[in-house]
Amino acid sequence: MWLLVLSIFCFKTQEHTGSGHTHCLEGAASEEPARGSLPHVQEALYRVADPDAVEPDVDTPEEKKLFTESFYGKFEEIEKLRDAFEALFAGPAKNDDTDAALDGDDLTEDAPVDILLKEPRLFAKRGTPVKKPSGHLMMLLDRSGSMGVERLSSAKAAVALIYRSAKKVNGITVTAAAFPGPNKTDILPLTADAAVTAEDFIRRFAPLSSWGATPIAEAIDWARDQMDAVESERKLLLIITDGDFPEDFFIPHEKTLTGHGIELAVLAIASDTEPEGINALVVEEDAAIADTLIALIKNTDFSRELTQ
């Protein structure tokens, strides 16, 4: 008989153990990691114990090295798509909001016409703010056990390129989180705030491993609360998951998000069902994750409005 044991923490392994079983580690949970740190693989959601499971050797430097090296390998492979990723956000918001090169007054572009019309307002002050479209992007990455090394690395590489591309655009803020989180929590924030640089994000992101369940509903609720606190004209929640859900699973979530001014886009990896009624794409091959994400984001109002 399977028993739910609160003192046992388990996680699902796939690619790096080859077993596909739910494995358990006995003992108390590790302490909550400091801000900016990444959890160990064994810090997972408690699960129903599998009496036949064999405890794998996962909490090792070799394990972290495996995920880190795999990530950088995938990142190098898809960096050829850098221009395509940057084009998703590079529009009117790409340049600085103000021209602060020099102090003083300059003639406006329409000055010759204005002179003929005897328009007295001939001069425009440099440094005057020009309102540009603003946007906030939140990415939620499923890092559950079924993602495995290769699939998670491909998804992480794409997320890293999106993060770096969006950070280059003035007027856009971007944050990211993964689910599940450590110590029986649903979420692992990957950025303390929108000010984290792309370099710091990628460095801290590289060792992120796959384990645990898929608390996607809780992750969506968390993201909504976080995005509510951000003042922005446009908001996009991008979810990347390999979970199998009912076809209409995301519809009520999208309805709630829309009421909060948040657009939803979902990338479903190797899913048996295609999400209905929302902006979603299904990708079968891990190697196509980056290209499919580009197509998905292109189909958002968020991207279209920022690139007009």
What's the confidence (pLDDT) of residue 185? 87
**Predicted TM-score of the model (pTM):** 0.70
According to the model, what pLDDT value does residue 240 have? 98
User: pLDDT under 50 in the chain at which residues?
Assistant: 1-59, 92-128, 130
Q: In this predicted model, what pLDDT tens digit does every residue of 69-118 receive, in sequence order? A: 999 999 999 999 999 999 999 864 444 443 333 334 444 444 444 444 44
DSSP string, the chain: ---B-TTEEEEE--TTTS---EEEEESPPPPPPPTT----TT-----B--TT------SSHHHHHHHHHHHHHHHHHHGGGHHHHHTTT-STTSS-SS--SSSSEEE-TTHHHHHHTT-S--EEETT-------EEEEEEEE--GGGHHHHHHHHHHHHHHHHHHHHTSTTEEEEEEEES-STT-S-EES-SSTT--HHHHHHHHTT----S---HHHHHHHHHHHHHTS--SEEEEEEEE-----TTTHHHHHHHHHHTT-EEEEEEES-SSPPPSSEEEEE-SGGGHHHHHHHHHHTSHHHHHHT-
